[in-house]
Amino acid sequence: MSERILVKGGRVIDPASGLDGLHDLYLAEGRVVALDVPPDGFTADFEVGARGKIVCPGFIDLCARLREPGHEHKATIAGESRAVAAAGITTLCCPPDTDPVIDTPAVANLIREKAQLTGTLRVLPIGALTRGLQGRDLSEMSALRSAGCLAVGNAHAPLANTLVLRRALEYAASYDLLVVIRPEDPHLADRGCAHEGPVSTRMGLPGIPETAETVAVAQVLALMEHTGARVHFAQISSGRAVRMIAKAQADGIPVSADVAAHQLHLTETDIEGFDALCHVRPPLRGRADREILREALRDGVIAAICSDHQPHEPGAKLDAFPATAPGMASLQTLLPLALQLADEGVLTLSRALAALTSGPAAVLGLELGALRPGAPADICIFDPEECWTVGEDTWLSDGRNTPFWKKTVTGRVTHTFFSGRLAFGH
Amino acid sequence: MSAALPARDLQLDTTGRLKHFLTIEGLRRELLERIMDTAESFSSVTEQTVKKVPLLRGKTVVNLFFETSTRTRTTFELAAKRLSADVLNVNIATSATSKGESLLDTIRNIEAMHVDMFVVRHAESGAAHFIARHVAPHVSVINAGDGRHAHPTQAMLDMFTIRKLKGGFENLTVAIVGDILHSRVARSEIHALNILGAKEVRVIGPRTLLPAAVESLGVVTCHDLDEGLEAVDVVIMLRLQKERMSGAFIPSEHEYFARFGLTGKRLSRARPDAIVMHPGPVNRGVEIDSEVADGHRSVILQQVTHGIAIRMAIMSMAMRPDREGQSGDRLA
- Count how many Cα atoms sit within 13 Å of the Cα of residue B73 in the half-sphere of its side chain: 18
Contacts of A198 in chain B (CB under 8 A): 212-213, 216-217
User: What is the residue-level pLDDT of chain B in tens, covering all 332 positions?
Assistant: 444 555 558 999 888 899 999 999 999 999 999 999 999 999 887 777 777 899 999 999 999 999 888 889 999 999 999 999 999 999 887 655 556 688 899 999 999 989 999 999 999 999 999 999 999 999 999 999 999 999 999 999 999 999 999 999 999 999 999 999 999 999 999 999 999 999 999 999 999 999 999 999 999 999 999 999 999 999 999 999 877 777 889 999 999 999 999 999 999 999 999 999 999 899 999 999 999 999 999 999 999 999 999 999 999 999 976 544 444 444 43
The stretch A374-396 carries a mean pLDDT of 97
Q: Do B104 and A274 touch (CB under 8 A)?
A: no
Catalytic, A308? Answer yes
Q: What is the pLDDT of residue B329?
A: 43
- Cα gap B299→B303, rounded to integer Å: 6
What is the identity of the amino acid at B78?
Answer: L
B10 inside 8 A of chain A by CB: yes
Task: Report yes or no: A340 at the B interface, CB cutoff 8 Å.
Answer: no
Three-state secondary structure call for residue B200 = strand
- A vs B, Cβ pairs < 8 A, gives 108
What residues of chain B lie within 8 A of the CB of A277, using their CB?
A: 2-4
**Are the Cβ atoms of A201 and B146 closer than 8 angstroms?**
no
Distance in angstroms (rounded) separating the CA atoms of residues A335 and A402:
15
On the CB side of A96, CA atoms within 13 Å amount to: 34
**Nearest partner of B155 among B171, B144, B165, B169, judged by Cα:** B144
Q: Is A416 left (phi over 0), alpha (psi -120 to 50) or beta?
A: beta
What is the model's pLDDT at position B4?
Answer: 54
With beta carbons under 8 A apart, name residues in chain B contacting A265: 1
What pTM was estimated for this model as a whole? Answer: 0.94
Q: Are B142 and B153 in contact (CB under 8 A)?
A: yes
- A318 and B103 within 8 Å at the Cβ level: the answer is yes
Buried b (16+ CB within 10 A) or exposed e, B299-320: bbebbbbbbbbbbbbbbbbbbb
**Nearest CA to CA, how far is B276 from chain A (Å)?**
25
Q: Indicate whether A36 pLDDT > 50.
A: yes
DSSP single-letter state for residue B18: B
Average pLDDT, chain A: 97
Interface contact B104-A319, CB threshold 8 A: yes
CB atoms within 10 A of CB B245: 15
When computed from its CA atoms, the radius of gyration of chain B, rounded to whole angstroms, is: 20
User: What local confidence, expressed as pLDDT, does residue B3 receive?
Assistant: 46
Q: In terms of CA atoms, which chain A residue is nearest residue B22?
A: A273
Which domains are assigned to chain B? 7-150+306-323 (3.40.50.1370), 152-299 (3.40.50.1370)
A407 touching B (Cβ < 8 Å): yes
Domains of chain A: 5-55+376-425 (2.30.40.10), 58-364 (3.20.20.140)
